Structure 1
């Protein structure tokens, strides 16, 4: 399960937008998920991660943004109640 809102907060207020991208750090064969973000905050998140990497506060590696995709399983059948808002027609940044 993913959070239903973007991971970015400003002045104590969390962004109300749904996540569009899973944010991870790729280091060779390993990949570490660090959060989710909307398209509007993609550059902000990338800059923050790179800053934290330079300060040694977060793992080194390449920042990766993977589009959120809706999936169905035996437990989640993909009905209207199972999905948060995902705009699949939005242009990829």
Structure 2
């Protein structure tokens, strides 16, 4: 399960956009998830993680933005209130 909103806070308020990317860091052949972000905040998240890496506060490694993909299964049943709109347009990195 992923959060239904971007992980970024603006002016003390949670971003209302749905997540478009899973943010992770690849280091020493392992991958660590750090959060989710929308297209609007992708560069802000990248800059913040880079800054924290330079300060030695988080693991140094390559920052990866993996597009969120909608997956369906017969095992999970929900109603229309459980679904989040996911923009499936390819990103322009």
Task: Name the TM-score class by shorter chain.
Answer: 0.7 to 0.9
TM-score, normalised with respect to structure 1 = 0.88
Which of structure 1's runs of 4+ aligned residues deviate more than 6 A? none
TM-score, normalised with respect to structure 2 = 0.88
Q: Structure 2 CA distance, aligned partners of 1:82 and 1:76?
A: 11
The aligned counterpart of 1:92 is 91
Name structure 2 gaps, 5 residues minimum: none
Q: How many residue pairs get matched?
A: 92
The aligned counterpart of 2:6 is 6
Cα deviation for residue 28 of structure 1 reads 3.5
The aligned counterpart of 1:46 is 46
The aligned counterpart of 1:55 is 55
Q: SS at 1:23's partner residue?
A: strand
Q: SS at 2:42's partner residue?
A: helix
Name structure 1 gaps, 5 residues minimum: none
- Assess, with a 3 A threshold, how the Cα gap between structure 1 residues 67 and 4 changes in structure 2: closer, same or farther: same
Q: Structure 2 CA distance, aligned partners of 1:70 and 1:82?
A: 13
